[in-house]
Structure 1
Amino acid sequence: MTKERLKTLKKQISPYEKSNTKQSVFQLINTFVPFFGLWYLAYLSLDISYFLTLAISVVAGGFLIRIFIIFHDCCHHSFFKNRKANKVVGTISGVLTIFPYSAWAHDHSVHHATSSNLDKRGTGDIWVLTVDEYLASPFLTRIGYRIYRNPIVMFGIGPIYTFLIKNRFNRKGAKMKERMNTYLTNVSIVALYTGMCFLIGWEAFVLVQAPIFLISGAAGIWLFYVQHTFEDSYFEEDENWEYVKAAVEGSSFYKLPKLLQWMTGNIGYHHVHHLSPRVPNYQLEAAHENSEPLKNVPTITLSTSLHSLKFRLWDEEKKMFVGYKGLKEKMAEKNKEKNHLTPSAK
């Protein structure tokens, strides 16, 4: 794909950047109503069988992911035309998903502006080291990195730490409005959870809410992970980094079955979203289908996405993700070069 064609892509999808109030309201109804209904059914099922409760929790967790997509769109001001409406719905959605609206909107905008930029990592993204960085890192850093990238930690402990702990604090340098929104979200979460505990008892609340939280949290982090972690992704240093290339080549098209595509708010069309965050989730598929170049972007499926679990480091020379086994090859190559240069040095 030439640079000229890459530059015209954004213009091609501009017609899909406008939100539709009727579609947005309808999505609120077909997302929030089923979620609350399923939550109540899960509560009622506690008197029947906890296995039934867990089964209902899986579906409810899917709708909570869909609520997060609405929250996500509001953070980009793409769900409604009115910015205040986005903030109100986004803040409410943030209480349910345990995310502070203003703080996450800031970090996520930084993620979009720096995604795949090797010189600007660290805000709103997953920790990625290059092969050379890993080899040059102290022993404790390497151990910490391996623990962080372990699937059990990333998709199990990760949601607990990120959602319950990290999201409760403001970033350094946050403006007053952002800080106040975080405080409002925290107070609202405490009030909601306390009220539910008084209403149905803390045991019942935990038995219902915990699996929904864990399932949606693990699935949410998985979606974010596979959207940027695939073999032939795109990473460049700042001087060679290009926004459009980072969007089209550094963000995957996660081709999911229709039901899962709907449940995840079309976020599998992540390449379209990174190309233009102003496209609301219900327009992403149309933007993809009506732009021929976008049909040739990196595509992963449910089965092929599992290969992403073995990718740990970015190899700058090969321009691809590799596993820890790739370190042996890299070290062997360096030793070979070192041995080759040693005689001449003498």
Structure 2
Amino acid sequence: MSKKKSFSWSEQCEPHKLRTKEIISQHPEIRQLIGKNPYTFLVILLCVGIQIGMSWILYDESWWFIFPCAYLVGAFACHTLFICIHECSHNLIFKNRTLNTISGIIANLPLVFPSSVSFQKYHLKHHAFQGIEELDADMPSEWEARLVNNSSLGKALWLLFYPIVQALRLHRMSKEIKMFDKWLVVNYLVQLVFVAFIFYFLKWKAIVYLLASFFFSVGLHPLGARWIQEHFLTHDEEQETKSYYGVLNTVNLNVGYHNEHHDFPSIPWNNLPKIKKIAGQHYTSLGYHSSYTKLLFRFLFDRRLSLYSRVARNNRGKTKMS
């Protein structure tokens, strides 16, 4: 692959609907995997508890000790919480939609910034309109790609501040997605109370630990390589979704099975490996990743990889164009 100067434009619709139909026709038993996993709520409580406990342990520790703890402990707990919010956005924890929204708000607590309700609004658009800039918040903007180019430093800074970058993308979606509602207000108020509570009892070091944990969890960290794994063109110019089959799927709650998830977004995380087991012939021929650390370094230092290494499209249809 040579250095890219533009996105790879496709005239086709998002690539997963057709494969889903083919797999279902061959393996109708996969429908039995569709459902809810209420035990995910226990994972939320565990990770929230870990972060509150770590904040209490570290509130009077030396500054030099806080950041390694955030990188080695907090980032993993926060990343799992982010995946739990993802499960809530698909309503995969409880049958009741409101309970899923509330669960997402609880999972959001140690992440400092209120984001669960807005994520719930725009994430499903990513599935339906993958690669369409005004509807897919996962798709880099043209200005991002130009600014970062293929510079190693630029890519490192882009990952480090990825939460801010993604928040800036929401403006381009505001014409088609209504963000403001009562649940967004609740999300902001609950988050404000939680952060005020932590600051009142545990002071600045606890807040800095939570902030560092959050930024590491989705940024310049092996876990941050998930953003590259999922939809960057790391293998060829055609396959725009890649799965990750590695040990960190324990932390990721199997969302590394990303082709499987996009093909069957109504199947909860615990059943995603079963999709590959049942319909393996549809996945074994696809490119995949097995190491986030290796992928992180490749993204940073391979000049052929940049933010332009993505498929963009305008076609909003459900089937391929003729």
Give 1:307's aligned residue. Answer: 298
Counterpart of 2:33? Answer: 16
In structure 1, the residue matched to 2:140 is 127
Give the length in aligned residue pairs. Answer: 279
1:189 equivalent in structure 2: 191
Tell me how far apart the structure 1 counterparts of residues 200 and 67 of structure 2 sit (CA, whole Å). 22
Instruction: Tell me which residue corresponds to 1:331.
Output: none
SS in 2 for 1:250: coil
CA deviation after TM superposition for structure 1 residue 111, in Å: 0.8
In the aligned structure 2, how far is the partner of 1:268 from the partner of 1:90?
Answer: 20
TM-score by length of 2: 0.73
- Asked whether the 8 Å contact 1:128–1:314 carries over to 2, the reply is no
Contact 1:80 1:86 in 2 (8 A): yes
Q: 2:227 aligns with which of 221, 224, 234?
A: 224
Q: Which residue of 179, 182, 198 corresponds with 1:180? A: 182
Q: Does 1:276 align with 2:269?
A: no
Deviation of 1:75 (Å): 0.4
- Residue in 1 that maps onto 2:158: 154
Amino acid at match of 1:72: H
Quick one: structure 1 residues 99 and 72, their matched pair in 2 at CA, closer, same or farther if it must change by over 3 Å? farther
Residue 107 (1) aligns with residue 126 (2): no
Q: What secondary structure is seen at the aligned counterpart in 1 of 2:235?
A: coil
2:252 matched residue in structure 1: 264
Q: Which has the higher contact order (CA 8 A, sep 6+)?
A: 2
Shift of 1:161: 4.7
- Structure 1 residue 73: Cα displacement: 0.5
Distance across 1 between alignment mates of 2:172 and 2:139: 19
Shift of 1:162: 3.9
Distance in 1 separating the partners of 2:140 and 2:169 = 15
Matched residue SS, 2:174 = coil
Q: Partners of 2:172 and 2:18 in 1: how far apart?
A: 43
Pair 74,152 (structure 1): closer, same or farther in 2 beyond 3 Å: same
Q: Is the 8 A contact 1:102 1:182 kept in 2?
A: yes
Is the contact between residue 265 and residue 282 of structure 1 (CA under 8 Å) also seen in structure 2?
Answer: yes
CA contact (8 A) 2:253 2:270 kept: yes
Q: Which residue pairs with 2:55 in the alignment?
A: 39
After TM superposition, list the pairs within 5 Å mapping 1:189-208 onto structure 2. Answer: 189-201=191-203, 203-208=204-209
Report how far residue 308 of structure 1 moved. Answer: 3.8
Whose radius of gyration is greater, 1 or 2? Answer: 1
Taking the aligned partners of 1:234 and 1:182, their CA distance within structure 2 comes to 38
> After TM superposition, what 4+ stretches of structure 1 lie above 4 angstroms from structure 2?
3-6, 140-143, 165-170, 172-176
Structure 2 vs 1, CA of residues 28 and 103 (structure 1 numbering), >3 Å: closer, same or farther?
Answer: closer
Q: Distance in 2 between matches of 1:81 and 1:154?
A: 37
Instruction: Note if contact 2:231-2:310 (Cα within 8 Å) is conserved in structure 1.
Output: no
Is the contact between residue 103 and residue 171 of structure 1 (CA under 8 Å) also seen in structure 2? Answer: no
CA gap 1:212/1:20 in 2 versus in 1, 3 angstroms: closer
RMSD of equivalent CA atoms: 3.4
Q: Which amino acid aligns with 1:114?
A: F
| Stretches of structure 1 lacking an aligned partner (at least 5 in a row) | 130-139, 236-248, 317-346
Measured in 1, the distance between the counterparts of 2:309 and 2:165 equals 25
Q: Deviations over 1:223-264 (max 9, x none)?
A: 1222111333566xxxxxxxxxxxxx432111222xx22112
CA deviation map 1:110-129 (0-9, x unaligned) = 1111224xxx2342123266
2:274 paired residue among 273, 286, 291: 286
Contact 2:230 2:242 survives alignment (8 Å)? yes
Q: TM-score, normalised by structure 1?
A: 0.68
**Contact 1:233 1:251 (8 Å CA) reproduced:** no
- Separation of aligned partners in 1, 2:191 and 2:118: 16
Q: Residue by residue, what CA displacement relative to the aligned partner does 1:30-61 show, whole Å, maximum 9, x if unpaired?
A: 433333333333335x1xx4444333322122
Matches of 1:225 and 1:99, distance apart in 2:
24
